[in-house]
Structure 1
Amino acid sequence: MHQIFAWEQRKLGNIAEIVGGGTPNTNISAYWDGDINWYSPAEINEQIYVNSSQRKISEQGYNNSSARMLPVGTVLFTSRAGIGKTAILSHEGCTNQGFQSIVPNPNLLDSYFIFSRTRELKQYGETIGAGSTFVEVSGKQMANMNLMMPSTIQEQKAIGNYFAQLDQLITLHQREYICVKNGGKLC
């Protein structure tokens, strides 16, 4: 029998590191067209996982910017120009300054669990960011977000796995629908 654990309120910054991004100088060609993934908010759409960015930066560009390398499992969170779009990194990479990415502490926060809370993250970001002329949410503001959470990582993983299976099922049915709609073409 599966044991149910109590939920507790936690600050996002206590269970994850919030990491902003950076952009190398665009006038220095040696900083660009390397092999380091470098994401911009426009690339984050309806996908769950991202594994390759449209633009890439070089090692030299990375070393000469405030971009930080983000590990697999990081939840990219757009913090401006459309606050609250999310995706999970399936390969390490970095972002421009339009992100406040969530790097889960692996012992305290499951990536898919926090990704499944995208709507709540977005609502918080839009509410907090609305006070300024240029709507943006800072890393400090994201770190201060209170979330109700299962008290154990095992419970989070169980919930995260459940939502991952639902998302896979939805994707499968969407593909089947498109196939049927197109009379069997594009299947």
Structure 2
Amino acid sequence: MTPKFVFGKEKNDWIKRPLLSNIEKILDYRGRTPKKLGLSWSDTGFLALSALNVKNGYIDFNADANYGNQELYNRWMGDNNLHKGQVVFTTEAPMGNVAQIPNDALYILSQRTIAFEVKHHLIREDFLATLLRSPKIFNELTSLSSGGTAKGISQKSLSNLKISLPASLDEQSAIGSLFRTLDDLLASYKDNLANYQSLKTTMLSKMFPKAGQTVPEIRLDGFEGEWENKILSEVTNITMGQSPKSENYTDNPNDYILVQGNADIKDKQVVPRLWTTEVTKMAEIGDIILTVRAPVGDIGKTDYNVVIGRGVAAIKGNDFIFYTLEKMKMTGFWNKFSTGSTFESISSNDIKEAIIQIPTLEEQQAIGAYFSNLDNLINSYQEKISQLETLKKKLLQDMFI
């Protein structure tokens, strides 16, 4: 048999054999604890690999983790130093996450991770790491697992697992290399996304005046002068929502789109979810939608003419107003008005009488354009990540049998 997608022109049959026939040794310290050794974890030292930081495809160095000192490492790992590329596998909670050791630094296997020492003449480590992440193998591992809520996989269960793989080590290497490249691209895009998101948070904080100030800490070139205090309803038109009767709700896209709250907004855009035949209050294309019930203060724009329920308000404002509202949400502006123990909400007066600071129209346009461009960059990276993850999922499905 061969998978749906193969490398090269030749479709050579894959061979099937027990997983453990490809493994020289499994490093498995389950049941061992620092306490049993008369020692304890520490906050620095050698990183302990666990179900918290072994993710599918990489080791998350920002996740919560334990560390061991030199004595703990020596007594725990002995001579079993993990090497770059070695496959690590989480055995429980969550079971089945796979990563490869990124460098030759020293790591400690915790009670919930194992590492494979492969027979290099039979299987490539890159290929094994990818194979263990495929849906077919994951499903088989799940069926072999035992336990209650926190299921785990034992070495005995692993001995019952059979895998299919190319006999050609070159083909194995090509498959492993492909997924390593995809993982590297994903990691790069995610780093860039995080950097741009962090930049946006910083600039929202610094490009608007802080409380008690009349000028921002950071200003775009060519602008000066103090910002003015204005009541939001003086510079925008605000429409409070009114819910249609529930018997008029439909799932017919030919009816009016109904926006009720946060559930109808995704990535700061209205996403049609529910429709109605009854028109109460309307928001027009380009309006800003502000949620007025828990969670209070979330915003989005609408690309449609929509009916708005009482969980939202519609605001006619430019991009500057949009990002002003986003900054207000970020800084907890609405918290002081929010009422209700179960369902927090803000009133019409809270919104209409909210004090904001504004510069000249030209500076408003420049600030709006700056953050709009930043959002476009963020959205582009989110789309690339989504596309790559979809591609990887499809390939994991089609490249293994």
Q: Which range, TM-score by smaller chain?
A: 0.7 to 0.9
Q: Secondary structure at the match of 2:377?
A: helix
Q: Note the residue ranges of structure 1 that are not aligned, 5 or more in a row.
A: 105-109
2:313 to 88, 97, 100: 100
User: Are the equivalent residues in 2 in contact too, given 1:78–1:86 (CA < 8 A)?
Assistant: yes
2:274 aligned partner: 55
Q: Deviations over 1:5-46 (max 9, x none)?
A: 5311111011112211122222357x874522211211123x
Q: Deviations over 1:57-112 (max 9, x none)?
A: 22xx11xxxx32212221101111211111011222121100122223xxxxx2x2
With CA pairs under 8 Å and 6+ residues apart, which has the higher RCO, 1 or 2? 1
1:114 to 297, 321, 337: 321
Quick one: which amino acid aligns to residue 13 of structure 1?
S
Find the aligned partners of 2:389 and 2:258 in 1 and give their Cα distance: 36
1:85 to 293, 298, 304: 298
Where does 1:87-166 land on structure 2 (aligned, <5 Å)? Answer: 87-104=300-317, 110=318, 112-117=319-324, 118-121=326-329, 123-130=332-339, 132-133=340-341, 134-150=343-359, 152-166=360-374
1:37 aligns with 2:250: no
Quick one: which amino acid aligns to residue 226 of structure 2?
A
User: Are the equivalent residues in 2 in contact too, given 1:78–1:101 (CA < 8 A)?
Assistant: no
After TM superposition, the score normalised by the length of structure 2 is 0.38
Find the aligned partners of 2:248 and 2:302 in 1 and give their Cα distance: 27
Find the aligned partners of 2:338 and 2:392 in 1 and give their Cα distance: 45
Find the aligned partners of 2:347 and 2:312 in 1 and give their Cα distance: 9
User: Are the equivalent residues in 1 in contact too, given 2:242–2:309 (CA < 8 A)?
Assistant: yes
Work out the number of aligned pairs and report it.
169
Find the aligned partners of 1:183 and 1:54 in 2 and give their Cα distance: 27
Find the aligned partners of 2:374 and 2:338 in 1 and give their Cα distance: 31
Alpha-carbon distance change, 179 to 140 in structure 1, aligned in 2, over 3 angstroms? same
Pairwise CA RMSD: 2.6
Q: Secondary structure at the match of 1:27?
A: helix
2:384 aligned partner: 176
Find the aligned partners of 1:24 and 1:32 in 2 and give their Cα distance: 14
Percent of aligned pairs sharing the same letter: 22
2:244 aligned partner: 24
Q: Secondary structure at the match of 1:69?
A: strand
Quick one: which amino acid aligns to residue 99 of structure 1?
V
